Structure 1
């Protein structure tokens, strides 16, 4: 269902968009988490550590895909908000071409650099073959990951966040079944886990294609929509490349942290891997609000309803604060219990290391929630520069924590790396948002709301 977010109550629109998105994000995380649980409980700690040691590369590919496709479809959402149907179709064709080219380049580059990357990451010799087997399959199947992220982003750009959710739930269940089948029945080991991920993502993509063809007349592409428009393509790239690079920089920070973590041995790697997966689930509500704000802002910016952007940010920020405090409380108090889900008969050392990380990180979810809100709002307004600088700040602060604080205090440096980087980046994007809103108040497009919002 197409949802026009330029009319109606802002917070109700954002909530209606965010909740399906949240469920979808959780299920997307379950792709990897389910595999880790199955690997950790059926193969063992070393196998779990192998997947964990390679996880920064997987995270890099995932975030690169999310950043690129999310940036491309900002233009799609803006054209939809401006009621430009031809512009929407042309934006989709440009996005398809750019995504396909990027997939080919990244796949070739990743395969060529994989072995040197694993060496640079200090992956222990006992884990390196398992890590290579897992991540090489993920790389070869990158096309399915990119396809799903692009197609679901296009559907969400038109205001429909429910349909990608349904497909994702279905394919996640398939992933779990296949992972159990490949690992436990066929004895394919870690490779079976990766193959299950790729097949499940391919099914998600196919479902999106069929749905778009049947339900979205506005996306029935014509021959003229494929005509190359260099200026229009560059308009997409000016948003997509900084967002892809921005997300990649975040992944590079995780890469550095994991490289330092790998020097502590298999138990620490397994503990850190489990703790990170729990944190990724816990922070999904904040992430979902951020993604919703990008679409909401892009549509209203395209429609020149700038006052609605301010109203949406204010409401969404307040809800995000409440959720971040609640999730922080849950993880702080029950994190150790959740860790036990990942590893059968976990050693006390593994549980203790994971608990330490979660107790420190969970007290700072407030910073992450606000970072998501203000960064995505700026991106929805077409500002890729400030979010990119914020990612540079995140990278620098993560490197400082991983390399210097860890050198002085050991694993605690890794525990503090995310909170420090979240706080620094949040400060920049928050200040930049208020400065941009102050500038836009001088615009002739800025009109205070004179009529009450229509209920949905």
Structure 2
């Protein structure tokens, strides 16, 4: 089922689009949380630290994959909104070729460099072996991550956010059973958690592919679409690579933060891992709202409706900030209780540290409502390079806090690194987004004048 967003109430359309996307994101994080909960409760705090010790590099690599796939979907949404279906199909095919190339290169490089990556992250010796086996398996599953995220990005670009959610829901349920089977029955330890995760991701991607082949005639490629076209590849790379790098550049700052935290010992690694799982889960609505705003604005850019682009930005930020305030209150008052999902009551030091991280973060959660929406709308309008620079500002801010203050203030500095990055990036991207909307408005007005003069 496809949905055009160029007509109708903007807020209603965005919320309808965002809801299944939100549920899908929550499910994706749910099986990450289930991995961590089963590992922490059954295998212990050190095993939990092993799974979480490389989370920043996973975010860097997998974030690049997901960001690139999201970027490749932007031109698809634009040409779908402009009702240029054949051109849209050209972009789908060429995006598929690019995704295959990315999958091969990243899987090979990351698998070979896995030991060096763990060394850079200062992973403690007592958890190194489990951390290595977990990370290596996750890297070997990169092609499945790309398969699901690219196909779901294409479906969302034509207004279908419900189907990717349904398949993700099925794989999330399966992941629970695979976790228990691999860890409890087969006793594969941390490696079993990784095997369950990539297996679930593979199933959701394959289901998306089967659905497109059988049901989505709109996305079927003709013979003339299945050719590599230089101008199409160039535009896809111009959108996808900056978007992927945006995630990766942000993750570099997270790597610096995780490396600094790993140096504080396995207690803080466990606390950081538990807090990050909760953080990633509560950030899902921000991602859903921002993606919805991006697709809305991209389709309306293709349709030449700049007034609706402005309304989309306002609606997205209003909803995002409202959610951020509510989620922040939850993290401030219930952080310790939520952390007990991953470690037992006896791990007092771990629970105290995790609760402190979440409490400090909660006071600034509202800023993500502005940051994520403004960044994704900027990308959806075609200014992906400017969206990337907001990731650079995040990286610099996190790096400064971690390298400059962890040595003096310890874990307290870690607790304020994210907030510093968010506020810094927001101060850049929000006015930039407004500038991009004004520039797009002038561009469309100029095109309209030329068309009228020619007629």
TM, length-normalised to structure 1: 0.96
User: Given that residues 32 and 197 in structure 1 are in contact (C-alpha distance below 8 angstroms), is that contact kept between their aligned partners in structure 2?
Assistant: yes
2:63 maps to 63
1:307 maps to 307
User: Given that residues 307 and 446 in structure 1 are in contact (C-alpha distance below 8 angstroms), is that contact kept between their aligned partners in structure 2?
Assistant: no
1:440-451 matches, within 5 Å, as 440-443=440-443, 445=445
1:452 maps to none
1:37 maps to 37
C-alpha deviation, 1:131, in angstroms:
0.5
Q: Equivalents in 1 of 2:441, 2:24: separation in Å?
A: 36
1:180 maps to 180
2:381 maps to 381
Q: Equivalents in 1 of 2:106, 2:133: separation in Å?
A: 18
Q: Equivalents in 2 of 1:279, 1:446: separation in Å?
A: 44
C-alpha deviation, 1:446, in angstroms:
9.0
Deviations 1:379-435 (A, max 9, x none): 000001211111111100000111112122111111111000000111111111222
C-alpha deviation, 1:372, in angstroms:
0.5
Q: Equivalents in 2 of 1:425, 1:444: separation in Å?
A: 28
1:289 maps to 289
C-alpha deviation, 1:444, in angstroms:
5.2
Deviations 1:268-311 (A, max 9, x none): 10011000110111121112111111111111111111110001
1:190 maps to 190
**Count, aligned residues:** 447
Query: 5+ unaligned residues in a row in structure 2: which ranges?
Result: 448-455
C-alpha deviation, 1:441, in angstroms:
4.3
2:406 maps to 406
User: Given that residues 306 and 445 in structure 1 are in contact (C-alpha distance below 8 angstroms), is that contact kept between their aligned partners in structure 2?
Assistant: no
2:110 maps to 110
SS at match of 2:343: coil
Deviations 1:242-282 (A, max 9, x none): 11111111111111111111111111100110001101111
1:11-410 matches, within 5 Å, as 11-410=11-410
SS at match of 2:364: helix
Deviations 1:43-72 (A, max 9, x none): 001100001112222222221111110011
Q: Equivalents in 2 of 1:228, 1:124: separation in Å?
A: 47
C-alpha deviation, 1:346, in angstroms:
4.0
SS at match of 1:445: helix
C-alpha deviation, 1:81, in angstroms:
0.6
SS at match of 1:68: helix
Deviations 1:330-370 (A, max 9, x none): 11111110000111344111111001100111111111111
C-alpha deviation, 1:439, in angstroms:
3.5
Q: Equivalents in 2 of 1:306, 1:446: separation in Å?
A: 13
Q: Equivalents in 1 of 2:401, 2:207: separation in Å?
A: 43
Deviations 1:71-103 (A, max 9, x none): 111011111011011112111111110000011
1:414-429 matches, within 5 Å, as 414-429=414-429
SS at match of 1:160: coil
Q: Equivalents in 1 of 2:147, 2:15: separation in Å?
A: 26
User: Given that residues 167 and 208 in structure 2 are in contact (C-alpha distance below 8 angstroms), is that contact kept between their aligned partners in structure 1?
Assistant: yes
Change (3 A) 1:444 1:288: closer
Q: Equivalents in 2 of 1:251, 1:308: separation in Å?
A: 33
User: Given that residues 56 and 255 in structure 2 are in contact (C-alpha distance below 8 angstroms), is that contact kept between their aligned partners in structure 1?
Assistant: yes
Query: 5+ unaligned residues in a row in structure 1: which ranges?
Result: 448-456
User: Given that residues 171 and 204 in structure 1 are in contact (C-alpha distance below 8 angstroms), is that contact kept between their aligned partners in structure 2?
Assistant: yes
SS at match of 1:159: coil
2:450 maps to none
Change (3 A) 1:411 1:150: same
For the aligned residue pairs, the C-alpha RMSD in angstroms reads 1.3
Change (3 A) 1:68 1:440: closer
